[in-house]
Structure 1
Amino acid sequence: MSYFAADDRYETMTYRRAGRSGVRLPALSLGLWHNFGDGRPFERQRAIVRRAFDRGVTHIDLANNYGPPPGAAEETFGRLLATDLRPYRDELFVSTKAGYEMWAGPYGEWGSKKYLVASLDQSLRRLGLDYVDVFYSHRFDPDTPLEETMGALDAIVRSGKALYAGISNYTAEQTAQAARILRDLGTPLLLHQPSYSMLNRRIEHDRLLDTLAEAGAGCVAYSPLQQGLLTDRYLHGVPADSRVATSVFLNTSDLDDATMGRIRALDEIAAGRKQSLAQLALTWALRDERMTSLIIGASSVEQLDTNLDALHGAPLTGDELAAIDTVLVGG
């Protein structure tokens, strides 16, 4: 069955500029980290991506190791591009990354030029694309000179295999150094992708948004729902199919009494706003205009729609922000 995108797909989505660039991204982007590997029904994956695009989500976030197994998410999205989205390629902003282990040996992970260039070539084959819109160094490599890693990103952009350069999981200090190197090479840093949520505020303590503003770069945060903790998923126990039960990224120790107390208190604040807990968490993480976009996952169209509806909620008031801070850090 042929796919024709919704005519009104740009009417309700909010777009934010990435730093001082010409790029504008949807306030909520779709990440294919967990739900687009093998073992997931393809038609469900297709329905999620179609619905996201129909609602103005133009940014699709990938990495070489997303699956499982590694590479599977790129293959899935490549299939969707071939069957559904090819006519809309120029409306899409597709990102991928390299930094974590993909193959055996000394050139299969981290930040060498050898690895980054080879990994992107493999990603492009899986995606069926000539280029991606942004290519990220997925993590800082303490053993490779930053000049080599950033030089590889510069060379990749100049080759036409990526339009922009990005970094992920770098500290503010590392980010400032990377941005200086890229600026001197003539390929400005476009985006940084850190982890950020109500329960993980490290980038605030590191003043990363200040660093990015000085560099003219944008910020696209992942895990704004803290791997599902900031949803109603665990308010009444641990479901058998939840990430706590099935994933290495969460375990039962993450659901200690103190954390669950905060989550229940936040849920009460959300209810007072007529929002779900997830919607409150997304609204909160977008409260600073320097946050370009948040990456959300989705295991169903219904979950996707609920999270996207967070953009229709009222801005948080000063009293609500104070109440949230009291829950998170104490009054």
Structure 2
Amino acid sequence: MYQANLKRYEQMQYRQVGQSGLKLSVIGLGFWANFGNIDPFENQRQMVRQAFDLGITYYDLANNYGPEPGSAETNFGRIMAMDLKPYRDEMVIASKAGHRMWPGPYGDGGSRKSIIASAEQSLQRTGLDYFDIFYSHRPDPETPLEETALALDQLVRSGKALYVGISKYSGAQTAKMAALFADLHTPFIIHQPRYNLFERQPETDLFPVLTDLHKGAVGFSSLAQGLLTAKYLHGIPANSRAKQTTNPFLHPAQVTQTLDTVQALNQVAQQRGQSLAAMALAWNLRQPALASVLIGASRPEQITANVQALQHLDFTAAELTTIDRILAQQAPIQR
């Protein structure tokens, strides 16, 4: 029977989400990849155990994570029932709705119909009574923001979520949603943007808005789908994500296009006594708006290695200048 590490809170750090009372582990575990029904379940179980033993308390799901869509939530629910049920009150578990999940007109988007139905299905798959945070996964141009806000508010009022958040909304959209939630008295506390060394738009578009609104953020794609790790420093490994012809998010051309930049960043990391991944996570966490950064993993050892970022979070002015100079030479990444 699993017994959590008694010293799990000694090495992790926790940050307050905006001006809310909630704190997140500064590193959270994301379930976007490697937790589906095509992935070995026992490896998933060991990764979640390792994360919790390292003090990671934030677990980030979505209805469509898999593959197949929904299977990451189902597998997480199995792990909760087998290992982590006694620790539920020590965990912040989040899920989302907004991307396509089932056929027909109601399995996608931000309508009240879609969000409420999706949240109910996610609770059934995970076996949870409630989510700590439930997100609108993306803005829906065919649904008024007011309707999406009301749907999330309903989840809180019905006891199925403690807090709500939004993901991939622009700064202007975020300000509008915040005003709607304020009128409803909904505990909207967090935004989840894509943010990493190659994706810096939130610095000008979103983070100033969150600062003004006293809201927090958790960043996803923190390591740019593995580009900001040692994996691609010397080419594309046969078992890598970039080698998978069915993967729409990372292509071999992107590895080639960023190779010089990644190698130069790796030299800075080595001079700091860090791995490239650890430095990239530390760089993300220099942003005061970020309460947490999400990591993915394919084995428990990667989680342990990424947590090492906490040993060296500070940057000198010279290091930041060097990093900015390296990034300035990088052409926009093809998508």
Give the TM-score normalised by structure 1: 0.97
Q: Secondary structure at the match of 2:169?
A: coil
The within-5 A match list for 1:1-331 is 2-206=1-205, 208-246=206-244, 247-257=247-257, 259-330=258-329
Q: Note if contact 1:179-1:188 (Cα within 8 Å) is conserved in structure 2.
A: no
Q: Secondary structure at the match of 2:49?
A: helix
Q: How far did residue 209 of structure 1 move? A: 1.3
Q: How far did residue 169 of structure 1 move? A: 0.4
Q: 2: CA distance between counterparts of 1:251 and 1:159?
A: 43
How many residue pairs match? The answer is: 328
Q: Secondary structure at the match of 1:256?
A: helix
Q: Note if contact 2:178-2:188 (Cα within 8 Å) is conserved in structure 1.
A: yes
Q: How far did residue 38 of structure 1 move? A: 1.3
- Alignment deviations for residues 135-165 of structure 1 (CA, whole Å, 9 cap, x no partner): 0000001111100000100111110000011
Q: Note if contact 1:131-1:162 (Cα within 8 Å) is conserved in structure 2.
A: yes
Q: Secondary structure at the match of 2:135?
A: strand
Deviation beyond 2 Å, 4+ runs, structure 1: none
Q: Secondary structure at the match of 1:33?
A: coil
Give the TM-score normalised by structure 2: 0.96
Q: Note if contact 1:189-1:215 (Cα within 8 Å) is conserved in structure 2.
A: no
Most deviating of 212-221 and 61-70 = 212-221
CA RMSD of aligned residues (A): 1.1
- Alignment deviations for residues 190-239 of structure 1 (CA, whole Å, 9 cap, x no partner): 11000000011111131x11111222211000011000000011111111
Q: Note if contact 1:239-1:245 (Cα within 8 Å) is conserved in structure 2.
A: yes
- Name structure 1 gaps, 5 residues minimum: none
Q: Note if contact 2:190-2:218 (Cα within 8 Å) is conserved in structure 1.
A: yes
Q: Note if contact 1:60-1:95 (Cα within 8 Å) is conserved in structure 2.
A: yes
Q: 2: CA distance between counterparts of 1:234 and 1:95?
A: 31
Q: Percent identity?
A: 52
Q: 2: CA distance between counterparts of 1:213 and 1:274?
A: 32
Q: 2: CA distance between counterparts of 1:3 and 1:50?
A: 8
Q: 2: CA distance between counterparts of 1:173 and 1:264?
A: 36
- Name structure 2 gaps, 5 residues minimum: 331-335
Q: 1: CA distance between counterparts of 2:313 and 2:84?
A: 33
